[in-house]
């Protein structure tokens, strides 16, 4: 099967990301399949059907075998998979939750992921995020849907040190957010790497 060319909204930013210091590393996450799952009751039945336990605590996420399960609301989750094609993931999850009164929609291209690592990424995020990102409050496994700059985001904490985060942002806002993050990182960027 010939492959159709894939493009990524942040392709043009790769060079700018490369020039960032280790204290503020930005990387566009590779495309993964994502599905928005709606289910009113989560229990053993749902876990069995899906093959994973959806997190029930608000504003948390859990790793799954090949991705993440992110709490988005009391009856809504985002499931990601690095191994399945978008339509496969949707079909499998939809089949699993339909009998339980749930639903599932492919949202693989709705958002793109940006990985932020380094000792200063918390400072960068704090320039435009009003929630408390202190590692004691927002350690590994915490998530939040909130606003970063002027873009709606899903923020995931990947470490207990506050130095590893994923930001999921609507694809159309990706360029804005990348520009915004680069601008915020300028303070931590060595002179030689700055675009001035």
CB of 94 to another protein, least distance (A): 8
Q: How many CB atoms lie within 10 A of CB 57?
A: 11
Q: Is 6 in the site for another protein (CB under 8 A)?
A: yes
Interacting residue with another protein among 19, 52, 128, 141 (CB under 8 A) = 128
Interacting residue with another protein among 22, 83, 132, 161 (CB under 8 A) = 132
Rounded-to-integer distance, Cα 128 and Cα 95, Å? 39
Which residue bears the tokens 């004691």?
136
Q: Is 193 in the site for another protein (CB under 8 A)?
A: no
Could you tell me how far CA 142 lies from the centroid of its own chain? Answer: 12
Contact residues for 1 (Cβ-Cβ < 8 A; gap 6+): none
Q: What is the 3-state secondary structure (H, E, C) of 134-171?
A: CCCCCCCCEEEEEEECCEEEEEEECCCCCCEEEEEEEH
Piece of the chain touching another protein by CB under 8 A; list 42-50, 61-69, 160-168, 176-184 = 176-184
Terminal C-alpha separation, the chain: 45
Are 178 and 14 in contact, with CB atoms under 8 Å apart?
A: no
CB of 156 to another protein, least distance (A): 15
CB of 114 to another protein, least distance (A): 15
CB of 43 to another protein, least distance (A): 18
Q: Is 74 in the site for another protein (CB under 8 A)?
A: yes
Binding residues vs another protein (CB under 8 A): 1-9, 12, 31, 36, 38, 58-59, 72-74, 76, 86-87, 101-111, 123, 126-132, 134, 137, 144-147, 149-152, 170-173, 175-177, 179-180, 183-184, 186-187, 189, 191, 194, 196
């Amino acid at each position: 099967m010939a492959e159709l060319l894939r493009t990524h909204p942040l392709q043009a930013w790769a060079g700018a990301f490369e020039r960032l210091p280790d204290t503020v590393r930005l990387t566009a996450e590779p495309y993964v399949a994502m599905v928005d799952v709606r289910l009113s009751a989560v229990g053993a039945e749902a876990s069995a059907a899906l093959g994973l336990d959806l997190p029930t605590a608000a504003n948390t996420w859990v790793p799954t075998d090949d991705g993440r399960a992110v709490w988005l609301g009391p009856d809504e989750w985002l499931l990601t998979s690095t191994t399945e094609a978008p339509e496969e993931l949707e079909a499998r999850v939809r089949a699993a939750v339909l009998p339980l009164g749930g639903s599932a929609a492919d949202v693989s291209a709705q958002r793109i992921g940006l990985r932020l690592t380094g000792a200063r990424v918390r400072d960068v995020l704090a320039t435009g995020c009003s929630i408390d990102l202190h590692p004691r409050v927002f350690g590994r496994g915490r998530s939040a849907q909130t606003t970063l700059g002027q873009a709606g985001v899903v923020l995931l904490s990947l470490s207990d040190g506050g130095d590893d985060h994923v930001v999921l942002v609507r694809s159309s806002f990706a360029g804005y957010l990348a520009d915004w993050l680069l601008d915020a990182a300028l303070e931590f960027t060595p002179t030689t790497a700055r675009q001035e």
